[in-house]
Amino acid sequence: MHSLDLHDHGTPATHGAPVTLNIDGADVTVPAGTSVMRAAAVAGGAIPKLCATDSLKPFGSCRLCLVEIDGQRGFPASCTTLVAPGMKVKTESEKLEQLRKGVVELYLSDHPEDCKECAAGDRCELHQVAADLGVTEVRYGRDGQSHQKGKVDDSNPYFSFDPSACIVCSRCVRACGEVQGTFALTIDGRGFASKVVASQDEGFLASECVSCGACVESCPTGALTEKSLMRIGQPDKVVKTTCAYCGVGCSFDAEVKGDKVSRMVPSRDGGANRGHACVKGRFSYTYTTHADRITSPMIRKKITDPWQKVTWDEAFQHAASEFKRIQKTYGRNSVGGITSSRCTNEEAYLVQKLIRAALGVNNVDTCARVCHSPTGYGLGQTLGTSAGTQNFDSVQFSDVIVVIGANPTEGHPVFGSRMKRRLREGAKLIVVDPRSIELVSSPHIHADYHLQLKPGTNVALINSIAHVVATEGLIDEAYVAERCEDAAFNKWRAFVSEQRNSPEAMENVTGVPAAMVRGAARLYAKGGNGAIYYGLGVTEHSQGSTMVLGIANLAMATGNIGREGVGVNPLRGQNNVQGSCDMGSFPHELAGYRHISDTVTRELFEKDWGAKIDSEPGLRIPNMFEAALDGTFKGFYVQGEDPAQSDPNTLHVTAALEAMECVIVQDLFLNETAKYAHVFFPGASFIEKDGTFTNAERRISRIRKITEPLGGLADWEATIGFAKALGYEMHYAHPSEIMDEIARLTPTFRNVSYTKLDEVGSIQWPCNDAAPEGTPTMHIGKFVRGKGRFFVTEYVPTEERSSSRFPLLLTTGRILSQYNVGAQTRRTENAVWYDEDRIEIHPHDAENRGINSGDWVGIASRAGETVLRAIVTERVQPGVVYTTFHFPESGANVITTENSDWATNCPEYKVTAVQLTKVGQPSAWQQRFKSENAEQLRLLREAATARKERLA
């Protein structure tokens, strides 16, 4: 079922030369390639249809959209008939009405009579068409054969399939293929026996279906329906908002009844997602009302004390007095905090403002530290700006797509689907990954090259690719001469041309056959528009920044930056990682990536904020933990992050948290960090506040309040309250005023405002007088820094190497149904697909250790030990094991080490030397985690009791 306010044109838009035709006596001009159906819709008419919708290619099966065309025999289907100059079309006639009524009557004869039971209600397209045509009776009776007793498939937690309402229009099947690219659905049988089935007719849950919901949305009847819609009912309004999961930043039309979301429908005009969604964005928002939500501020003196529920004001006063005490006792720089990549731009901005202005320190950081900080460094140094170069639409114009250390179909699924669509159209694919991700081989997609390198050898590989480009005459000499610094380029060219960087010389290091490297390099350099997409498999290494530099070098050398279809595109992990970085969350820079030592910038902020700003960089997250263990960092304000689960070397992190005297956590749930906290500010979910997120393509999009914050305050309001208690007033009545301040102080945001966002939907920064409508593609004509700069990228092996004691290399990643630390998705129905982290191991390594799938195995590294169940699979290569980190009890980060990127301290999550052994019980850490977790939950329950007593 479509969005409440969708005007469906029936078939997709095209971009041909103008063609004028006549429809029902009126001239209409549309692009060549447009269907007659769409032309009629553009002209304001509506030809009846059931199998057509403008997100799918025309299919021509329902026979409702018949029209008459002068000079043509019969009654062509308007969805599959293209416009032609001078064509004369009649969409209404007695004969057409007779034909359409006959078709509708046949459909109705095998469709439930009573619509009252159907969640689609009056939005069922079949009943709408019947009403429009005045079909009120079915002449055929209901006693014959029908599908009315078909069994409902209720297996999927989020939607059900009722075959009795299905008209076998194939919209669901086509959506699964064309939009999502999974091809899980099909029409089984022929003629009357035709029916929609998932995979081999095994039910939706057990099938290959990834629950993106494209089928549900495309269904014209109530055959496929969201269970939330059945439960809550038809909406009474639509609120435009943005998903709070990954960095794709999908736009949604939230359909709301009262203050409840009855369903989420991806916006067709969403710049990032173009009407598509994944299981998380469309369905997994139910965590927002989960019983685990903490809705009252709480304080306690020691982390072994029960929580005490207090008023917001009491919480602010307590937190402020503690931070003041700590600063007085241990010095001004003994406090700091983390902005959230899950909260809004405005909230990240306020937290860093509080830390810099109210606390007078620059000890502020954000979760990008542990994911994409090397992107900021690398792209800033080479190109001049710390962000991706393209919009997501750009992939439609790519000829060669290179995916390095990213798994788009799992981590960024909506963009993954768009990428797959382009690949099905014929674009070439190079995958650089130690593991066989889905893109390597999936329905209708096969990577032309899978460079299956050993973990930790990215830089060696990018240098060998660059060697081929430099030594085989594949450099775009004119581009480089015009746009890049000569001296740096020549130095780089000489470096990569050295024989020691050749694919043959590097083969033993990377494990990738030289011939494959040469083939991939030639394809990228000369295959047309070459676009690189990369993820944490690039950045989370000791040479993460070097690899980003290497990627940018390669793109510049081949002329693949500065137009549509090309570029260097970091796939950001969380919804607002880009935004939190933009907002001045790093300890060394203010909003807009301006260094804290720059007096002019600092004075600009000081004047606006009415506070002195320290000119020295502050501590980064790992440095904060080090300083805590050293006794010089004692107060920590964490908004919407969970370093106790997400950061490497858990024992190190938790020891640091324990060494602090006041940890303030602001979150939806009692997360792992909150178990070490002394103050808890209840967070507000994305449906409880206004604000903006900035996605991986620099796109700023609005979130809009649907319901009041369960805890009483939005996160930005809580930060204001805390600042006030510290003695620093912030005066904002609405987040739009915070954005106005950001725009006032940040050149790249100069023309951004809520008014503008309401007008245009979303904006990609820079948005200023030079680019008043934003900047979809960066570096056109010249780089932001002027001339692009090449860097020499010497490969330096990580210190984390396999040994006789730890012979395997562990790498980590994500899965589609869970998200990051799992705090949100674990509190949804998504556990039916993935309810625990598992360790993947190659059959050879498993056999040597007597490990079978499902066995419990101990994973030991020099940092710690944990136990997970095994999956024996050839997705990983021999010598490599892989796990996810969505469940705290897994302790995935108990085994990762504190190795980090040389430039930014981004942890090296992607390489940990480990040994695996079959075991029979959880690790000592897991056993301790279990008991400590139980104790913390008890202390939380006591808070609930205490509150009741107090009220009594």
Partner 1 sequence: MNIEHLVTMANDIGNFFTSEAGDAAAPKEVATHITKFWDPRMRSQIIGHSKSGGEGLSPVALTAVGLLVPPVQRD
Per CB under 8 A, residues contacting partner 1 are: 331-333, 362-363, 495, 542, 545-546, 587-588, 595, 597, 614, 616-620, 623, 626-627, 629-630, 632, 791-794, 796, 898, 900, 902-905
In the complex with partner 1, the residue whose CB is nearer, 110 or 901, is 901
Distance CA 633, CA 361 (A): 12
- Token code pair at residue 867: 């136990």
CA distances from 874 to 263, 834, 848, 871 (A): 38, 19, 15, 10
From the CB of 622, what's the least distance to partner 1, in Å? 8
Q: Which is nearer to partner 1, 413 or 587 (CB)?
A: 587
Q: How far is the CB of 458 from partner 1 (least distance, A)?
A: 15
User: Least distance (Å) from partner 1 to the CB of residue 812?
Assistant: 22
Q: Work out whether the CA dihedral 55, 60, 63, 66 comes out positive or negative.
A: positive
Q: Nearest distance from residue 620's CB to partner 1, in Å? A: 8
| Sequence-separated (6 or more) residues with CB below 8 Å from residue 603 | none
| CB-nearer residue toward partner 1: 81 or 623 | 623
Please state, in angstroms and rounded to a whole number, the distance separating the CA atoms of residues 135 and 510.
Answer: 68
By beta-carbon proximity to partner 1, the closer residue of 632 and 753 is: 632
Min CB(904)–partner 1 separation in Å: 8
- Contact (CB, 8 A) for 570 and 816: no
Q: Say which amino acid occupies 913.
A: A
Nearer to partner 1, 89 or 627 (CB): 627
Q: Find out whether 253 and 237 touch, Cβ atoms under 8 Å.
A: no
**Shortest approach of partner 1 to residue 792 CB, angstroms?**
5
Report d(CA 12, CA 667) in Å as an integer: 42
CB 902 to partner 1: min, Å: 4
521: alpha, beta or left? (left if phi > 0; alpha if psi -120 to 50): alpha
How far apart are CB 385 and partner 1 at their closest, in Å?
17
Q: Which is nearer to partner 1, 60 or 617 (CB)?
A: 617
DSSP state of 295: -
Q: How many residues does the chain have?
A: 952
CB of 352 to partner 1, least distance (A): 16
Backbone torsion region of residue 456, taken as left when φ is above 0, otherwise alpha when ψ lies between -120 and 50, otherwise beta: left
Greatest CA span in the chain, whole angstroms? 92
Query: Residue 172 and residue 182: Cα distance in Å, rounded?
Result: 12
Q: Which is nearer to partner 1, 13 or 796 (CB)?
A: 796
Closer of 448 and 898 to partner 1 (Cβ): 898
Q: Give the shortest CB-901-to-partner 1 separation in angstroms.
A: 8
Q: 131 or 796: whose CB is closer to partner 1?
A: 796
CB of 333 to partner 1, least distance (A): 7
Give the residue with the Cβ less far from partner 1, 111 or 634: 634
Q: What is the DSSP string of 535-597?
A: -HHHHSSTTHHHHHHHHHHHHHHTT-SSSTT-EEEE--SBTTHHHHHHTT-STTEETTTEETT
CA 701 from centroid of its chain's CA atoms: 14
Closer to partner 1 by Cβ: residue 393 or 606: 606
**What are the angstrom distances between the C-alpha of 335 and each of 24, 91, 301, 625, 627?**
73, 71, 17, 11, 10
In angstroms, the Cα distances linking 741 to 339, 349, 735, 737 are 18, 10, 10, 6
Q: What is the DSSP string of 741-789?
A: HHHHH-GGGTT--HHHHHHHSEEESP-BTTBTT--SS--SSSBTTBSB-
Residue 633 and residue 363: Cα distance in Å, rounded? Answer: 10
The minimum distance between CB 350 and partner 1, in angstroms, equals 22
* Closer to partner 1 by Cβ: residue 133 or 509: 509
**C-beta closer to partner 1: residue 597 or 755:** 597
Both tokens of 424, joined, read 């099905």
**Category of 796 on φ-ψ map: left (φ > 0), alpha (ψ -120 to 50) or beta:** beta
CB of 508 to partner 1, least distance (A): 20
- In this structure, the dihedral spanned by the alpha carbons of residues 229, 235, 241 and 243, taken in order and rounded to 10 degrees, is 0
The Cα 755–Cα 765 span in angstroms is 16
Closest C-alpha to 261, from 237, 280, 292:
237
Q: In angstroms, what is the minimal distance from the CB of 341 to partner 1?
A: 20
Q: Which is nearer to partner 1, 90 or 588 (CB)?
A: 588
Whole-angstrom distance, CA of residue 839 vs CA of residue 881: 7
Cα 538 to Cα 9, 250, 530, 635, 908: the distances in Å are 42, 24, 18, 33, 10
Least Å from the CB of residue 626 to partner 1 = 5
Tokens 């970085």 locate to: 581
Q: What is the distance between the alpha carbons of residues 832 and 733, in angstroms, rounded to a whole number?
A: 42
Nearer to partner 1, 545 or 736 (CB): 545
Residues 466/904, Cβ–Cβ less than 8 Å: no
Taking the complex as a whole, the smallest distance from the CB of residue 213 to partner 1 amounts, in Å, to 44
